């Protein structure tokens, strides 16, 4: 018997082969104007007995699992004691376990004190996926992210100080034509400052259910970037991103115009060569019909 998930269910592309446990449903914030992922769900923290029986079920079916992803939108919002209870139960059930990860918002990390973050790390939580989206404060406000660039940098630093692996996401095209310069220069600045272990660049894709909300909250006319504009943002980002140590970079999400990846700085020139080639040969880009968020 398999786990009965509460759909829609999301996980980062790199967790495609992970075992997923929904310890929460939905997102405790659920107000980012570009994100339609959990609009159909009320945020709920699932009871321990339900989580426990799903862990038991999965431990029988997939005892060899090496990676676990705790869903939904921000499992780190759960109280530390309950998270530790879940982590402590998971570890012995999956003897080959190498990594436990979850999505986290900046506020989730900032709300945990140093002792809590240390305890969670010791209990087996290894990695956070955190949406930066942009480093520009005007845009963060316009897309109602509920975070400032300063708070984002602080939260990422805090996660790293406590030994967590950090995978961050930014969104190309988030400011449309009007804010493209500020979006990329501020984003490149904060991702350089943060230097996450992994960086993913997604592309703005407004699903029908969220389109009007995004436009209303943007509070001025929004002109979306064409594919060439997206490639230009990506090119500038790759040039301006100056991490203090190598970062695995991916722009291979379903929303992207093409699948691009490498390690920055060593693959910077190779990535730039590809982007510049794509600008000259737009027919190589993924058809719009195959893109989604």
Q: Could you give the CA distance from residue 34 to residue 191 in angstroms, rounded to a whole number? A: 20
Contacts within 8 Å (CB) and 24+ apart, 205-208: 205/255, 205/291, 205/292, 205/293, 206/34, 206/293, 207/36, 207/292, 207/293
Nearest distance from C-beta of residue 146 to ligand SF4, angstroms: 7
Nearest distance from C-beta of residue 110 to ligand SF4, angstroms: 14
Is residue 293 at the binding interface for ligand SF4, with CB under 6 A as the rule?
A: no
Q: Which token pair is 137?
A: 């404060």
Work out which of 25, 37, 58, 86 binds ligand SF4, going by CB under 6 A: 37
Number of H helices and E strands in the chain, helices first, is 10, 10
Which span sits near ligand SF4 by CB under 6 A: 30-38, 150-158, 233-241, 268-276?
Answer: 30-38
CA quadruple 254, 259, 262, 267: dihedral sign: negative
Q: Which token pair is 143?
A: 């897309």
Which span sits near ligand SF4 by CB under 6 A: 28-36, 172-180, 258-266, 271-279?
Answer: 28-36
Residues 133-152 that bind ligand SF4 (CB under 6 A): none
Residues 63-102 that bind ligand SF4 (CB under 6 A): 73
Nearest distance from C-beta of residue 29 to ligand SF4, angstroms: 4
CA distances in angstroms from 88 to 124, 143, 234, listed in the order given: 8, 37, 41
Which span sits near ligand SF4 by CB under 6 A: 12-20, 33-41, 210-218, 245-253?
Answer: 33-41
DSSP tag of 126: -
Question: By rule CB under 6 A, what count of residues binds ligand SF4?
Answer: 11
Q: What are phi and psi of 128, to 5 degrees?
A: -120, 140
Is residue 35 at the binding interface for ligand SF4, with CB under 6 A as the rule?
A: yes
Is residue 12 at the binding interface for ligand SF4, with CB under 6 A as the rule?
A: no
Is residue 105 at the binding interface for ligand SF4, with CB under 6 A as the rule?
A: yes
Is residue 206 at the binding interface for ligand SF4, with CB under 6 A as the rule?
A: no
Work out which of 20, 25, 32, 230 binds ligand SF4, going by CB under 6 A: 32
Enumerate the β-bridge partners of residue 198.
Answer: 167, 248
Binding site for ligand SF4 (CB under 6 A): 27, 29-32, 35, 37-38, 73, 105, 131
């Amino acid at each position: 018997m398999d786990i009965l998930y509460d759909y829609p269910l999301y996980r980062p592309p790199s967790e495609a082969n992970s075992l997923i446990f929904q310890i929460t449903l939905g997102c405790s914030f659920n107000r980012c104007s570009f994100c339609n992922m959990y609009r159909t769900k009320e945020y709920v923290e699932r009871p321990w007995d339900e989580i426990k029986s799903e862990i038991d079920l999965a431990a029988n079916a997939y005892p060899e699992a090496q990676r676990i992803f705790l869903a939904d939108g921000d499992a780190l919002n759960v109280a530390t004691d309950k998270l530790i209870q879940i982590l402590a139960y998971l570890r012995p059930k999956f003897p080959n376990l190498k990594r436990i990860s979850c999505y986290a918002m900046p506020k989730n990390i900032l709300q945990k004190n140093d002792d809590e973050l240390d305890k969670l790390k010791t209990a087996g939580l290894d990695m956070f996926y955190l949406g930066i989206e942009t480093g520009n404060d005007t845009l963060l406000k316009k897309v109602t992210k509920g975070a400032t660039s300063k708070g984002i940098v602080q939260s990422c630093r805090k996660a790293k100080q406590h030994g967590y692996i950090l995978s961050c996401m930014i969104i190309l095209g988030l400011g449309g034509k009007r804010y493209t310069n500020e979006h990329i220069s501020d984003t490149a600045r904060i991702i350089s400052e943060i230097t996450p272990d992994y960086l993913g660049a997604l592309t703005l894709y407004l699903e029908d259910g969220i389109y009007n909300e995004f436009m209303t909250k943007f509070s001025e006319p929004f002109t979306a970037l064409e594919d060439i504009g997206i490639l230009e943002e990506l090119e500038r980002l790759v040039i301006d991103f100056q991490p203090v140590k190598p970062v695995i970079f991916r722009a291979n999400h379903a929303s992207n115009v093409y699948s691009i990846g490498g390690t920055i700085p060593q693959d910077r020139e190779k990535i730039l060569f590809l982007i510049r080639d794509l600008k000259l040969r737009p027919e190589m880009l993924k058809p719009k019909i195959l893109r989604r968020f």
